Amino acid sequence: MNFKKVNDGLLDFLNHSPNAFFAVKNMKHILCDAGFQELHEGESWKLEENADYFVTRNDSALIAFRIPKKNFKGFQMMASHCDSPVFKIKANAEITIDDQYVKLNVEKYGGMLCAPWLDRPLSVAGRVMVVTKNGVETRLVNIERDLLIIPNLAIHMNREVNDGYKFNAQVDMLPLFSEKSDEKNAFLKLIAKEAGCDADDILDTDLFLYNRMQGTYVGENQEFICSGRLDDLQCAYSSIQALVQAKPKDSVAVACVFDNEEVGSGTKQGAASTFLKDTLHRINASFGHTEEEYLKSLTSSFLVSADNAHSVHPNHPDKADPTNRPYMNKGIVIKYSANQKYTTDAVSGALFRTICKKAEVPYQTFTNRSDMLGGSTLGNISQAQVALNTVDIGLPQLAMHSPYETAGTKDTAYLIEAAKVLFSSSIESIGDGNYKISF
């Protein structure tokens, strides 16, 4: 495994993907370069065997798939998400203070660690809707320079800050944009200039802050990588790389990257939506398969829900479970939860362990301490639309939901190898609970 090459590729992807819109754009590039054909949900699909495709929804979610033959056995799938906790810029964003400064009005998207957003260069990226002759069109914008900062209050004015501080998003988290000038709507004009239009032509926006700090390596032997958005672009990137490199034989290989996991997945482009179900139905219908054949194929299908996991924290080792203790660079984490917040059970855990063994990559296990509530992810949410054997896994990381997270330099390559085996294999149901696995 060429760890250096994998990590350089990952960091480049992270640096150029400040949010879901750009992550999808960059994944499309990877897929187009590999010969995948783009489909549109609004057009009819004429799929062929031995061909590779992808489709996007809302420009912020993507499903890519490879069809080795028309009488495929099932679907071998990996799901991840491309959104991250962040601050979204509100409409009418400019706020003037003392006729001297202009700051921007923002609100929380998802549950982030607030403190690390302060005192570092930030910028803005997202999409704007521009009026055209016939309607509206989407343009992506990214102000690629240090533009904004959210300054801390000096310790002299907040002596107790180091004993714990409650961040008020409407007070503490608004970024400084400029000195006050005579120009009206300077922020929107800046965005319009980047979008190549007039401010008056912008009908609406989805704009988000992002941390300008580039991804890097740390550790005595560069054994860790740090970047924004490792959760969950590390898994999304791995799934796309693996899909491109895999050799599907008897089952359709599918990589799904959903948006809006951080806010509950309940949008048309989230894991709770019909996006995956619609896509699988259209693949099925393209080859003249019946609904019964679709339902049969789901019993011979497997979904790996890949969303990052918590590594044991060097300063807080007691926060981890006593016997399930994942460490960075020690392999893919299989996540368990008795109440099925994670979908892993003995069947899906066994199937995934078999895949890891075939790929010759290490794996480890995670459960929350029995006295701590964990987070949620997309595996159990997508079950409501497409019910099939599903395992929840992730790559071990620290500082989840900080704008600068830390992970291991070996684990991405491990996931790519395991996902290649997943996408190249078939898992055939031979009675409930029994499976024939062909690699």
Rounded to 5 degrees, φ, ψ at 22 are -75, -35
Among 232, 392, 405, 417, binds Zn ion (CB under 5 A): 232
Which tokens in the block code for residue 137? Answer: 């069109």
Specify the residue, 74 or 326, whose C-beta has the smaller distance to Zn ion: 326
CA distance 379 to 342: 7
CA distance 413 to 237: 11
- Answer whether 63's CB lies under 8 Å from 276's CB: yes
CA distance 28 to 25: 5
For the CB of residue 249, give the shortest distance to Zn ion in the complex, in Å.
31
Q: What is the pairing mode between strands 309-310 and 332-335? A: unpaired
Give the number of residues in contact with Zn ion, rule: CB under 5 A.
3
Specify the residue, 231 or 259, whose C-beta has the smaller distance to Zn ion: 231
Among 59, 83, 231, 259, binds Zn ion (CB under 5 A): 231
Write the interaction track for Zn ion spanning residues 292-331; mark x where CB under 5 A is met and - where it is not.
---------------x------------------------
For the CB of residue 401, give the shortest distance to Zn ion in the complex, in Å.
8
Q: Which stretch binds Zn ion (CB under 5 A): 92-100, 208-216, 226-234, 272-280?
A: 226-234
What letter would DSSP give residue 11?
A: H
CA distance 136 to 21: 17
For the CB of residue 287, give the shortest distance to Zn ion in the complex, in Å.
34
Specify the residue, 248 or 379, whose C-beta has the smaller distance to Zn ion: 379
Position 209, amino acid: L
Specify the residue, 47 or 112, whose C-beta has the smaller distance to Zn ion: 112
250 part of the interface to Zn ion, by CB under 5 A: no
CA distance 41 to 22: 20
Specify the residue, 232 or 417, whose C-beta has the smaller distance to Zn ion: 232
For the CB of residue 49, give the shortest distance to Zn ion in the complex, in Å.
34
DSSP assignments along 318-368, one per residue: GGS-SS----TTS-EEEE--TTSSS---HHHHHHHHHHHHHHT--EEEE--
Instruction: Measure the CA dihedral 124/85/324/359, to 10°.
Output: -50
Write the interaction track for Zn ion spanning residues 259-298; mark x where CB under 5 A is met and - where it is not.
----------------------------------------
Specify the residue, 232 or 259, whose C-beta has the smaller distance to Zn ion: 232
Q: Which stretch binds Zn ion (CB under 5 A): 126-134, 224-232, 286-294, 365-373?
A: 224-232
Specify the residue, 83 or 250, whose C-beta has the smaller distance to Zn ion: 83
For the CB of residue 238, give the shortest distance to Zn ion in the complex, in Å.
13
Q: Which stretch binds Zn ion (CB under 5 A): 153-161, 213-221, 230-238, 333-341?
A: 230-238
For the CB of residue 84, give the shortest distance to Zn ion in the complex, in Å.
8
For the CB of residue 80, give the shortest distance to Zn ion in the complex, in Å.
8
Write the interaction track for Zn ion spanning residues 355-394; mark x where CB under 5 A is met and - where it is not.
----------------------------------------
| Residue 378, phi-psi category: left (phi > 0), alpha (psi -120 to 50), beta (remainder) | alpha
Q: Which stretch binds Zn ion (CB under 5 A): 85-93, 128-136, 232-240, 336-344?
A: 232-240
Specify the residue, 271 or 320, whose C-beta has the smaller distance to Zn ion: 271
The closest of 213, 214, 211, 207 to 104, measured between CA atoms, is: 207
Specify the residue, 251 or 412, whose C-beta has the smaller distance to Zn ion: 412
CA distance 112 to 50: 43
CA distance 292 to 222: 52
**Residues 309, 312, 313, 316: is their CA dihedral positive or negative?**
positive
Specify the residue, 123 or 234, whose C-beta has the smaller distance to Zn ion: 234
- Answer whether 106's CB lies under 8 Å from 88's CB: yes
Helix 3-15 and helix 411-424: axis angle, to 10°? 90
For the CB of residue 261, give the shortest distance to Zn ion in the complex, in Å.
6
| Residue 259, phi-psi category: left (phi > 0), alpha (psi -120 to 50), beta (remainder) | beta
Specify the residue, 211 or 300, whose C-beta has the smaller distance to Zn ion: 211
Which tokens in the block code for residue 99? Answer: 């006729």
For the CB of residue 232, give the shortest distance to Zn ion in the complex, in Å.
4
For the CB of residue 377, give the shortest distance to Zn ion in the complex, in Å.
6
What is the binding site for Zn ion (CB under 5 A)? 231-232, 307
